[in-house]
Structure 1
Amino acid sequence: MPVPAHPRSHRPAANRVEIRLPWWAVALPAVAFAALLIMIMSPGQAQAATVDPALGQLIERTLHLLAH
């Protein structure tokens, strides 16, 4: 039985790029995405903030002036 001249190594070939990620590099973004999706789908007892209308108008006018 012939023996291969060069044993196979776990190194990638020179013309290929091999990317190996740990399990948590995929799991953490997936969990964060699921949590944000759940918060969007069920807002629960979300209520509008009570802010002085004058402050809101001031911010709105400032943004309008900056946009022009």
Structure 2
Amino acid sequence: MPARTHPRSTRPDPGSVEIRLPWWAVALPAVAFGALLLLIVAPGQAHAATGGSAVGQLLERIVDLLTR
């Protein structure tokens, strides 16, 4: 006797889109963003030739681009 398959208890509507991501698909970009943000905020022992901070320069460029 063949085994019966059980249908899903809830099926999405035909017009809707169901997206299911694994946990790492959200965690990896978040970790990468956090690591890059830490590199910008606290660059460690790296010293630039100019006296401005990286965050200050970034904000300056954003303001320049927005006011053009």
Specify the TM-score bucket, using the shorter chain as the normaliser.
Answer: 0.5 to 0.7
**Rounded Cα–Cα distance in structure 1 between residues aligned with 2:34 and 2:28:** 10
- The equivalent of 2:4 in structure 1 is none
| RMSD (Å), alpha carbons | 2.0
**Rounded Cα–Cα distance in structure 2 between residues aligned with 1:8 and 1:47:** 59
**Rounded Cα–Cα distance in structure 2 between residues aligned with 1:26 and 1:8:** 25
* Gapped regions of structure 1 (runs ≥ 5): 1-6, 49-68
Q: Which has the higher contact order (CA 8 A, sep 6+)?
A: 2
**TM-score relative to the length of structure 1:** 0.52
Identical pairs, percent: 74
- The equivalent of 1:10 in structure 2 is 10
**Rounded Cα–Cα distance in structure 2 between residues aligned with 1:8 and 1:29:** 31
Aligned length: 42
Pairwise CA distance, 1:47: 4.0
Question: What are the superposed Cα offsets for residues 15-45 of structure 1, whole Å, 9 maximum, x if unpaired?
Answer: 1001111111000000000000001101111
Pairwise CA distance, 1:10: 3.0
Pairwise CA distance, 1:9: 3.4
- The equivalent of 2:46 in structure 1 is 46
Aligned pairs (5 A) from 1:1-68: 9-47=9-47
Higher Cα Rg, which structure? 1
